[in-house]
């Protein structure tokens, strides 16, 4: 983020408007992913948002299993200590809640059949 800020500052000084605009847009996108990434349990739904561009709603009753993973692939998760949530038949999504145990307990309140696999970090 600091690199983009430095490039934008130098571009503004050198009157390179297009580069300045691109760098500022990149910084806005990065900030949005940092400050707007969350997993919220609302009623019987798991709502996952990632910046301004991604929002996924999963009925908790469709979740079949959850396991710990350090999968580095792109996901709406800010940490590599992630939970892989399997839902529907073959769908998965990775999240990284701050309070893993509380998150899992809350999901289990809505769906007691969720299988927790290898929950160890």
Q: Domain locations in the chain?
A: 2-33, 60-117
Closest CA to 97 of 64, 59, 66: 66
Residue 115 — very low, low, confident or very high, per pLDDT cuts 50/70/90? very high
Supply 104's token pair: 């899992």
Strand, coil or helix: what is 32? Answer: helix
Helices and strands: H and E segment counts in the chain:
3, 7
Supply 22's token pair: 């691109």
Q: Give yes or no for a contact between 107 and 46, defined as CB atoms under 8 angstroms apart.
A: yes
CA–CA separation, 2 vs 26, rounded Å?
11
Structure confidence by residue, pLDDT tens digits, 53-65: 778 999 999 999 9
| CATH of 60-117 given 2.40.160, 2.40.50, 2.60.40, 1.10.10 | 2.40.50
pTM over 0.75: no
CA–CA separation, 121 vs 61, rounded Å?
26
Structure confidence by residue, pLDDT tens digits, 83-114: 999 999 899 998 888 888 899 999 999 999 99
């Amino acid at each position: 983020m600091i690199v983009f800020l430095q490039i934008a500052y130098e571009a503004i000084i050198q009157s390179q408007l297009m580069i300045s605009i691109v760098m500022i847009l990149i910084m806005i996108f990065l900030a949005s992913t940092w400050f707007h990434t969350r997993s919220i349990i609302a009623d019987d739904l798991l709502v996952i948002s990632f910046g301004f561009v991604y929002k996924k709603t999963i009925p908790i009753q469709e979740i079949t299993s959850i396991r710990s993973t350090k999968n580095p692939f792109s996901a709406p998760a800010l940490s590599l200590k992630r939970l892989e949530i399997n839902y529907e038949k073959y769908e998965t999504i990775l999240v990284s809640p701050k309070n893993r145990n509380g998150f899992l307990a809350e999901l289990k309140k809505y769906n007691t059949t969720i299988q927790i696999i290898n929950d160890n970090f």
